[in-house]
Every structure is written in structure tokens, then in C-alpha cells.
Amino acid sequence: MAMTMPRLHRIDRLGALVSAVGAAAVVFLPFVVLKSNRIVPGDPRGLLEVLPMWAALACHATLILVAIVALGVSNARGRLAAALLGVVVVALAVAAAGNALTPAGNKVVRVAPGAGFWVLLVALGLMATDAITRLRPGPGMRVLLLVLFVAVAGLALAHGTFDNLSVMREYAVNAGRFAREARQHVLLALGSLAAAVIVALPLGILCHRVPRLRAGILGTLNLIQTIPAIALFGILMAPLGALAAAVPLAAKLGIRGIGAAPAVLALFLYSLLPVVANTVAGLKRVSPAAVEAARGMGMTARQILTGVELVLALPVILTGIRIVLVQNIGLVTIAALIGGGGLGVFVFQGIGQTAIDLVLLGAIPTVALAFSAAVLLDALVEIMDRTRQ
Amino acid sequence: MITVENLSKQYGATTVVDGVCMVIERNSITVIVGTSGSGKSTLLRMINRLVEPTGGRVLIDGNDTASEPAYLLRRRIGYAIQGHGLFPHRTVAENIATVPGLLGWDEARIRARVDQLLEVFQLDPGEFAEKFPHQLSGGQQQRVGVARALAAEPAVLLMDEPFGALDPIIRTKAQDDLLDIQRRFGTTIVLVTHDMDEAFRLGDHVAVMSQGRVLQYDRPAVLLTRPADPFVSRMTGSADRALRLLSLTTAGEAALPGASDGPAVAASASLRDVLSDLVWQGAESAAVVDADGTARGSLTIAAILAHGRPT
């Protein structure tokens, strides 16, 4: 009798965790929160209360299906497809909830995604990233996945699918400023990175060539790294303010105690350590025999540096640049505190007004930018490492 | 011809190479042998100025090597090192093309030279040209390293323990290949090793170094039969010096007129190998034949043994 029973597949551990968390979110946490205006606390609402019966049931049925796949299917493609299906359904459900709860023409009522929505999204995201890890996609495929994801999200946003949700309400009010601050955000992050690379590469090469300087330079940069960002802004304010007062040209160029100048300078200083340290580490791993052979064959010092050493160190240097870029995209948020602009403007304004939707308008794009930068540079590092080692 | 005149190198108070004088003949293989720390690598690296001498000078065909920028000098001198030093990010063909590229050869000439060298080193160009060094075996990497050193047709090739990282079987093969290549291109080769067997196998002349000085510089047979110094006789090994001496003469050189009904041996085999063969087979004499099978004469055990005694 026991022998004829079908053997149970082994239950996937991550699947069990994700399913349990997701189920708890659906049962115990509000899917959306309805607020009569943007700053008052809202009323929690479940899916069944908001959507038509058939839609709520379809949504729950899909989530149960995803949970079954998470528990019992080991095929990574299947798991990825199920997780993405879950993300789409949950996103459509929250959009539909927004539409259902907003009276036509009412611009004051806010429908915000609730804790249940966010937890479900995290659980599904975990399942999707786990499936992608199991698939071991090449760097090109990972970039393609990112592009697809961004394209789908972008199309949905442009189409107005989420227009009745609170974050998009904040966006509608701030659309002009959002574009400007987003551009400023990217400029601050990339500008300080570019300046840091220009300075850090020669500094790294110097540290590699003159071991006596290495401890001093890396130690100093390490010390800078330990200064909290806000403190560093404060420290830079006085000398930059004095500089602007003393040198009119500096003031004309936009160098002042507050604004973008101290922000860029602080980000630049934070960026130095990872790039210098990785340049040193990358040069250190270049085979001494290859450098010796290059000298012995009559390559000049410059040819050896650019044609052998830096090329071989490039994947490690790029890893440092990746660290800096992701770190900068996050840190730029704080630049808003001293008038540097960037998406942090919305975060701090939102905190000031206790308008959490406005905070999210600044925070979500920042996270998306940092995530995209990480995926792109990781792919680049892998491509370099593959062709050059 | 390379003339080394009173060449010295000091690091602070330490003298690494101490007043070395040598004349290295064209189209020959000269081996510098010594223990580690004897200064042999430093001496070699002063020839292409990877190390700048503190005293003395080096002339190549009468021209002082100090009279031009070091990197230009090095492009005319082949250089191969232990562990090959291939560029991991460049293909086999790109590695070999390094010096021709630096010298500005046109592409067609470089490609022809790369293909020629790959064939000389028994690496099929179609299969190996586009491979990366990490896709090759140790022996193949080493061959590409030597091919790269020879790419710009240098008159002089310097080799610093080139076979040190190879296992014994591949090492013997690499040594045979080097002898073939030296005959084929007529390159003047200076090779550094700590392995006395390698020195005797490859060297037309051998220099024994200790503590920065060249103790004796002569043909291998002279080093064995008339060592100039107790250190030289220790280095050359007194226990098996008779057998080493036999290994320096080939059967073809020692063959006497007449026929033998004993086993046939190749004219290129060393007397040491022929003797071993005869002992193993229980024969008294061997018939010496050329590679194409024509008889070159015969060798008796007694005749072989006579070659193992100092004259």
C-alpha cells in the first residue's frame, strides 16, 4: 500500500519561506491603505474588500498557484515565470484597487500600497532573484532581463496604469521638478565618480609603484571613509564658503558653502578609497612574469602600464567603480540636505510634511537606479574578466 | 659575438657580479650555470640591460650596448624566462607578434612570421593562433614563450631558466627542440640554469659561476677533465663524470670503420646511451646507422669506454 503512494517531491526551503511570508501578508496585512488626504493616517483595506469578487478570487488563485510552484517545482525557468506572473498580478491588483477606491475626479483621496503589497512584492522578488541565480544567466542575458523589466515598468507608468496610486499622485504634482532632480541626481553621482576615477587611478598606480606611500595614502582615504556623510558636508561648508567669499571666480563657478559643490566634493572624497584600493589590488594581481617579459621584449614603461598592467587590472578596477557608483547613487540623496538637489529633495520634503508618498517618490527611483547600475557594471566586469583572463 | 668586459653589479655594499669577462661566440649555445645567488641571472640580465651594470660593459658585434636606449636594444635581443610570462589577455598569435608589432612590421609579414614559428614549434596555426595562453598545456605555453622571443629574428636569444617549470619528460623534449631551433636559425643563445645536466646537454660552452665570479668558462669536456677549481669539480660531479663525458660524444662522431652484428644504434645517440643499450642487451658491439639507414661503422664497448677517460 505504502509503496504505491506517489513519492512527495522534496519541499523547496526558500519556497516554503516565501509562501509562508506571502500567505501571512495576504491574510494579516492590509493590501492598500485609503486616506482621505495625503497626510492623515489611512484605513487598511484587504483585497476582497476592494476588488470585485471575481478579480479578488483570480488574484488569490494566481498567488496560490505561484506558492505551489515555489514549494514543489525545481525547474528554475518555471519558478522565474511564476514569480514574474505573481509580480504582474500583484501590481495590476494594486493599480485596480487604486482605480476602484478613487472617486472619479477626486484629487484629494490617496490610495497607497499597504504593508501586504510590499511584503508580497519582496517575497516574489526573492523568489525571482533566486530563480535567476539558479539559471546562471550570462552577463548579456542579465542586462537583457533588466532592460525588459525597465521597459515593462516604463510602459505601464507611461500608460497611466498606476496613476490613481498615491506615489503617482505625488509625481503628477511634481512632474517638472522630478525630471530636473532626477537629472541632477544622476549628474552628481556620475560627476563625482568621474572626478574620483581621474584622481584615483594615478594615485593607485603610485601606491602600487611606491610601497612606502601605500599605507599613508590608503590610511588617509580610510579615515575619510569613516566620517559620516552629514558631518563631511558640514566640515566642507566652512572652507568652501570662505573660498567663495575670497575668490569671486570660484563663486561665479558655483562653488559655495552649500549647494552642489560641497556635495560633489564629499562624494568625490568618498569615492577615492574604493577606486584607489581596487587599482592597487588589480595591479598587484598582474603576473610579475608578464611584466618582466614585457620589459625584456623592449616595451616602454608607458606601453607596459597601458598595454599590460592596466588592461589586466581592469576587471578589479571596474569592481571598485561599481562599488562607488552604487554607493554614490545612494549618498546623493543626502546632498539635498545642503541644497545639492537630487531625488533626496523629495525624501526630505516628504519627511518634513509627514507625507510618506513623497518620500517614496524620491526613494523608489533611487533604489531602481542603484540596482540598475549594479546589474550593468557587474555584467561589464564579468565580460572583461572572461575575455581578458 | 658578445663581449663581456669586466662586468660588475653592486647593490649597496653587496657585489652580485664581480668583474666578469667572457667572449661568447656567434651561432653557439653558451650556458651559465651556478647555484642560486651566484649572480648568473644578474649577469644575463645585464646583457639586455634589464639590470644596468655598475662597472664594465657589454659589446654585441663590437657595438657598446649602452650606446642606445635600453628598450630599443631589447627589441633586437630575444628574451625567454621561466614560467614563460605570456600575456594572459592576448592570443597566442598576438603574444608572438609582440616585438614585430613594436618594430612596426606590416601585418602580412607579422602573420607569415607567426605562422612560420608556430609550425617550427609544432603548433598547428589553425588550431593554436587564436587560443589564449590559459587554454594551453605547460609545454605548449613554454614553446609559445620561446617562439615569442624569436619572433623578430633576433641574432641573440637570452633564456633565464626557460625550462625550470616543466616536468622531466617535457623538459627533455623542449631541450631537443631548442637544439634544433639553434641549428635552424643560427641564433646565438645564452642560457642560465642551475641544472648541470641541462648545461652539459645544451652548452657548446659552459660558464660555472659562484659568488659573482666565473670560475671556469670552457667546453663541457674540458670542465669535466680539467676542472679549474674544486667548486667546478663539485658542480660537475666527480661520481659520474665518466658517464657525463660519454654523453658529450655522439655515436656518429666515435664510430670506427667496420661492420657489427650487434644492435643498430642511431648516429645521433650519445655514447652514454649506446653503452647503456649494449649493457642492457648483453652485446659487445653496435652498428651505427644514420637517420636514413646508411651504415656509419661500428662501436665496441672497449672503444666506447676509451672515450670516458680523460685524455
Output the pLDDT for position A35: 87
CA A364 vs. chain centroid, Å, equals: 9
Q: Does B101 touch chain A (CB under 8 A)?
A: no
Contact A298 B102 (CB under 8 A): yes
At residue B29, does pLDDT exceed 80? Answer: yes
Q: Does B46 touch chain A (CB under 8 A)?
A: no
CA A180 to CA A343: how far, in whole Å? Answer: 9
For chain A, strand residue ranges (E) read 32-35, 43-45, 110-113
**For the ranges A163-177, A345-359, B42-56, the one whose mean pLDDT is highest:** B42-56
- Predicted confidence band of residue B188 (pLDDT cuts 50, 70, 90): very high
The DSSP call for residue B60 is: E
Using one digit for the tens of pLDDT, what is the confidence trace for A64-89?
999 999 998 889 999 999 999 999 99
Tell me the residues of A at the B interface, defined by beta carbons under 8 Å apart.
Answer: 287, 289-300, 303, 308, 311-312, 387-389
Full 3-state SS string of B255-282: CECCCCCCCEEECCCEHHHHHHHHHHHC
Using one digit for the tens of pLDDT, what is the confidence trace for A3-49?
444 445 578 888 999 999 999 998 899 999 988 887 788 888 888 88
* pTM to 2 decimal places: 0.80
Q: Does B49 touch chain A (CB under 8 A)?
A: no
Which cell numbers hold the place of B70? 635600453
The mean pLDDT of B137-155, rounded to a whole number, is 93
At residue A1, does pLDDT exceed 70? Answer: no
Angle, CA A52 vertex, CA A48 and CA A57 arms, to 5°: 60
Q: Helix, strand or coil for residue A253?
A: coil
Question: Nearest Cβ partner of B81 from A296, A312, A388?
Answer: A296
Which cell numbers hold the place of B56? 664594465
User: In what order do the strands lie in the sheet containing B285-289?
Assistant: B264-266, B285-289, B295-300
Q: Which of B220, B80, B86, B95 is nearest to B163 (CA)?
A: B80
Contact A300 B71 (CB under 8 A): yes
Residue type, B14: T
Residue of B44, B68, B74 to mutate for A, most A C-beta atoms under 10 A? B74
Using one digit for the tens of pLDDT, what is the confidence trace for A137-184?
888 999 999 999 999 999 999 998 898 888 898 898 888 999 999 999
Which cell numbers hold the place of A222? 580610510
Q: Which residues from B are below 8 Å from A298, CB to CB?
A: 70-76, 99, 102
Strands B77-81 and B213-218: unpaired
Residue of B79, B156, B157 to mutate for A, most A C-beta atoms under 10 A? B79
Output the pLDDT for position A4: 47
Mean pLDDT of chain B, nearest integer? 92
Question: Nearest Cβ partner of B81 from A293, A299, A300?
Answer: A293
Q: Which residues from B are below 8 Å from A388, CB to CB?
A: 88-89
Q: Which residues from B are below 8 Å from A291, CB to CB?
A: 85
Q: Which of B307, B214, B206, B210 is nearest to B254 (CA)?
A: B307
Mean pLDDT of chain A, nearest integer? 88
The DSSP call for residue B37 is: T
Using one digit for the tens of pLDDT, what is the confidence trace for B99-131?
999 999 999 999 999 999 999 999 999 999 999
N residues, chain B: 311
Output the pLDDT for position B178: 93
Contact call for residues A298 and B99 (beta carbons, < 8 A): yes
Q: Does B134 touch chain A (CB under 8 A)?
A: yes
Output the pLDDT for position A9: 57
Output the pLDDT for position B110: 96
The mean pLDDT of A360-387, rounded to a whole number, is 90
Output the pLDDT for position A5: 46
ipTM of the complex: 0.84
Contact A296 B50 (CB under 8 A): yes
Neighbours of A247 (CB within 10 A): 12
Buried residues in A172-190 as b, exposed as e (16+ CB within 10 A): eebeeebeebbebbbebbe
**Helix %, strand %, coil % for chain B, to 5?**
40, 25, 35
CA A346 to CA A364: how far, in whole Å? Answer: 11
